[in-house]
Amino acid sequence: MGLFGNSEGGGSRLGGTLILGLIMAAFTLFQYYSKSELNPITKETQHIGISTDEEIAMGLQSAPQMAQEFGGLYEDDQAQQMVDQVGQRVAQNSAAKRTPYKYDFHLLADPNVVNAFALPGGQVFITYALFSRLESEEQLAGVLGHEIGHVVARHSAQRIADQQLTDGLTGAAVLATGDQNTAQMAQMVGNMINMKYGRGQELQSDELGVRFMLEAGYEPEGLLGVMKILEEASGGQRVPEFQSTHPSPENRMERIKDAIQKYKSLKGTRGDSDLSE
């Protein structure tokens, strides 16, 4: 063995791991971008690896556990019936009806957490803490319309695909460099990008909520009232927008106002219930 035998071997191993890392990164990118389809409602091309049937199955399977985490279902048939009626009015009288999802609306018992969320495939939840603060049917339609927007835009499925992309590229960076610091930096960058995408998804769901409300015959200004309720519930304690998955309330309200003007103008021009562009 020569004097530089060890260093040559190390260089060879380093070159090998670098090549493997690049192959892994290329494969991860190929997997992500090869799965491409057009969302018929948002008109966006999305890179998603699961089918709508799989989304529906995931939502149905996860719904009981999610309900349990928020104290189960709220035991008031009249309140639950109102949530059902408003949710189905929005879902069945808007472009959301043209999707394969079967929407179910659940009122959760949690009296403290002001929240609403949607699982993949059409399972929509609102906590009693938020429901009890709403002042009108329009505001309830705004909350549920926003959550239907998440389902229609396939945001959960998109987040799964984006996280798989981030994890794959982070793993490739570790393999290529063997440096844990590089991996941590790559993960931090990936998380920041995903948070930015998360804020974009919230704004898109706000816009879709406005559209669906108008299509269903509700006044979309109700969603502005919801934003004020959420701001009051937060007690003014907010992290900076760039560190959050949600845009600031001020930013959301301005975008909602723009969406209201946009879709009311379209409705006035076309005079029909489907405001697709």
Give how many domains the chain has, as a whole number. Answer: 1
259 in any annotated domain: yes
82 in any annotated domain: yes
204 in any annotated domain: yes
Quote the CA–CA distance of 69 and 114 in Å, as a whole number.
Answer: 14
Question: What is the reported pTM?
Answer: 0.79
Quote the CA–CA distance of 218 and 146 in Å, as a whole number.
Answer: 13
Instruction: Write out the two tokens for 120.
Output: 């993949």
254 in any annotated domain: yes
23 in any annotated domain: no
Q: Which residues are paired to 125 by β-bridges?
A: 106, 117
pLDDT in tens, the chain (277 residues): 443 344 445 555 556 666 766 676 675 665 666 678 999 999 999 989 889 999 999 999 999 999 999 999 999 999 999 999 999 999 999 999 999 999 999 999 999 999 999 999 999 999 999 999 999 999 999 999 999 999 999 999 988 887 777 777 677 666 666 666 655 655 555 554 555 557 899 999 999 999 999 999 999 999 999 999 988 887 755 544 334 456 777 889 999 999 999 999 987 666 566 776 5
48 in any annotated domain: yes
As a whole number of Å, the CA-based R_g of the chain is 23
Please choose, from the candidates 218, 255, 208, 246, the residue with its C-alpha nearest in 3D space to the C-alpha of residue 114: 246
110 in any annotated domain: yes
Owning domain of residue 63: 37-270
30 in any annotated domain: no
H/E element holding 79?
helix 77-92
